[in-house]
Structure 1
Amino acid sequence: MGNQIKKTKESINQETKVEIPLENTFKLTNPGKFEQFCKESTQILNVETFDGFRLEVNQQMNQSFGLTHALSMGSLREEPSYTFGANYVQEKYALIGNRKGDGTVFARYIQQFGRKFLTTIYTQIAGKKQEDSEDTLGADLEYYGEDFTIQSKLKPNKAFGLSYLQSITPRFSAGMEFVYYHNMKTSAIIFASRYFTHNFIFTSSFSTFPVKHFSTNYVQKITPRVGLAAEFIYNIENGLSAMNVGYLYSLRQMRVGGQINSNGKISTLLEQMLHPLISFKLSAEIDYISNTYLFGYGLRVGPGV
């Protein structure tokens, strides 16, 4: 399973690359978490575009403690904002939190027990300006077996979830997730499967909430740093469908990603490393249906860029 806390620390300053597992043995391995069964396609298709100006500064005070600053302004979709964050990471536990300019506070505590158990406790306190938002408290418990993963999620008075993902063959895994929503007195069930080879990954899922729908995702690795992805979603209740197609091209000092969907929206993001500690971003999004054009640029400063 590896050290889950170290993975969490790496995800704070992760570099986006197209990576496809290359297991080629008959031994079953841990399939990962259920909620990440299609993480490769999500990495390519969910291009984080923005408009206006963004500035991100990472300060690594020592090996365990780091600070983050994020400033956003000039956006047509969001109000100007500033977010201050801090993270403290050790081998077996981590504490991560941030505070936004509107007063919203988010904190997460991660603790690893042995090699197989990982627990996360998180809370969010809504700011004064967010009258419609509610304070949130939740906890996740994960168990990593040799060839399966069990995860439970609990949000008091809101929702309870339980998921199970099992490796059936070295290349094929399947599982399901059950979620009960306290406030709506309803439940949801999600079935998912995943199959991969050295060159492609194919995933599929069926969900009963909020509407019954079926989705498939396909990722094709062209080279170790170039990948293509496609997603098809079919709404069983009304017969409508949607499709997304995206690409990701990662070089040592540059990353380019883009997406186009069947709703007429095209988005792209370019990130160029100017210095080992400085990178420059250009973002663009065009929605032909609503006739909107959004452009943004930003800087990211600090280790991990």
Structure 2
Amino acid sequence: MTGLSQQGQGAFGTYASSVLFRKQRGGEGPAHRGAYVVSLAQEAKESSLVIPSVAEDAAPAADGAGQETEAPAAQAQTDFASAVLSKETDFLELPQPVRYEELQKECLMSLRPETFEGMRFDFTKPLNQSFSLSHSLQMGSAEMPTANPQQIVKVPVSSYEFGANLIGAKGMMIGRMLTDGRMSGRVKYDVNDSVSFKVQAQLAEEKQYSQTMFDCDVKGLDWNAQLKVGNNQFVGVNYFQSVTNNLALGGEAFYLGSQRKSGVGFALRHQGEPGIATCQVATTGLLSATYHHKVSDKVYLASEMMWNWNAREATAAFGYDYILRQCRLRGRIDSSGVITAFLEERLNVGVNFVLSAELDHYRKDYRFGFGMTVGME
């Protein structure tokens, strides 16, 4: 059982359902980096304790110098305290947090490169400002599951994908069709700035691979919530709230009726300068922690740790993201020894050359790919 059935087995139902409809070769959307505002409430408290002692030390000197020296010193201390206190967190003006299912999207850009094996060619043809067509051709090999994890069996595969994209001011419609008969679609409509609806579907000849998901997103001034309903009697809900200018807390719950499984998860996200830290824990036995560090405007580092309490297994990974003048290089290495690299070289406006590599020395599995992307950037 795959798809939504696997969500009940995962730690985070919402995150699993968002991954369900992502293409295997990459995530969706650029990394979001919100504005940074420093909270100095604790410093203000400490400063208020220091200022009186400074005044006492300055008192003998002020008595000797007269009233003219005492007044400017007291005024300077008052101005300093007012300046520090003015930087305290304004709980009525907290920022809008990211969506719960996008909690780790900055790290995923570095830790989940779009690796593939063989040859890939993507072409996007815009017909007007709102409508475009896409063509994708891929030839390579696919790994077949076996009873022995150390045994690797690959079969040659090839596929062609045709897509249509309609993007407007209030929503978008995206459809894909593959040569093996699978079809997928996504429709999103924004009712207003606070409420939006989204429907995702995938149809296949095999019943277990057909999926449907309906989402309702609601945003407030400093919070957002989401309701998800899907086939296999899947129901999920999540909520994310800004607590300070940098910290957001939230949680989720899901129920998978077809397998009679349910789970509850909690998460936090601290977005500061120069790093973003996240942590998720769920009743399904998984603990996930990530950290995304901005070295410069063109260099980003990321790390991830995941612990499966039920399987008594822990994994860790380190990733990087270099944005150079004409190319972008992403890669990762994990605790199992798998090394991954993905390079996008810009040849011209709208034309990119792609190189992909994944080395697994322990399993003796090596995957290399190259491709070309032509069309809108």
TM-score (norm 1): 0.89
Residue 213 in structure 1 maps to residue 213 in structure 2: no
The code of the aligned residue for 2:167 comes to V
Q: Determine if contact 2:36/2:271 at 8 Å carries over to the other structure.
A: no
TM-superposed CA distance for 1:135, in Å, is 2.3
Instruction: Supply the distance in 2 between the matched residues of 1:79 and 1:184 (Cα, whole angstroms).
Output: 33
Q: Deviations over 1:248-286 (max 9, x none)?
A: 001232000000001111000011000102110011100
Query: Which stretch of structure 1 is more off in the superposition, 170-179 or 151-160?
Result: 151-160
For structure 1, the 5+ residue unaligned runs are 1-11
Q: RMSD over aligned Cα, in angstroms?
A: 1.9
Alpha carbons 1:16, 1:250 under 8 Å: kept: no
**1:230-256, Cα deviation, whole Å (9 max, x unpaired):** 001122234321101000001232000
Aligned twin of 2:220: 145
Of the three residues 243, 263, 270, the one matched with 1:168 is 243
Q: Once the two structures are superposed, what CA deviation does each residue of 1:126-181 show, in whole Å capped at 9, x if it has no partner? A: 1x4xx363322221000011000010100033311000000000100010010100
1:33-182 alignment to 2 at 5 Å?
33-77=99-143, 79-126=157-204, 128=205, 131=206, 133-182=208-257
The 8 Å contact of residues 116 and 143 in structure 1, kept in 2 or not, is answered as yes
- In 1, the alpha carbon distance for the partners of 2:27 and 2:339 equals 27
Counterpart amino acid of residue 287 in structure 2: F
Q: In the superposition, relative to structure 1, how do residues 115 and 255 fare at CA in structure 2: closer, same or farther (>3 Å)?
A: same
> 5+ residue gaps in structure 2?
1-25, 39-88, 144-155
Query: Residues 221-232 of structure 1 correspond to what in structure 2 (within 5 A)?
Result: 221-232=294-305
| Structure 1 position 38, deviation (Å) | 1.3
Tell whether the 8 Å contact from 2:342 to 2:357 is kept in structure 1 after alignment.
yes
- Of Structure 1 and Structure 2, the greater strand share is in 1
In the alignment, what sits opposite 1:189? 264
Q: Does 1:23 align with 2:96?
A: no
> In 2, distance between residues paired with 1:75 and 1:284?
14
Q: Is the 8 A contact 1:53 1:75 kept in 2?
A: no
Within 5 A, what are the aligned runs for 1:223-302?
Answer: 223-302=296-375
Structure 2 length-normalised TM: 0.73
Q: 1:92 to 1:105 in 2, by over 3 A?
A: same
Name the larger-Rg structure.
2
Cα distance in 2 between the residues matched to 1:187 and 1:275: 50
Count of residues paired in the alignment: 287
Take 1:265 and 1:235, find their aligned partners in 2: how far apart are those partners?
Answer: 19
1:13 CA drift (Å): 11
- Secondary structure of 1:35's counterpart equals helix
Aligned with 2:109: secondary structure? helix
Change (3 A) 1:15 1:156: closer
- Matched AA of 1:216: A
Letter in 1 for 2:103: F
| Structure 1 runs (4+) greater than 4 angstroms displaced | 12-17
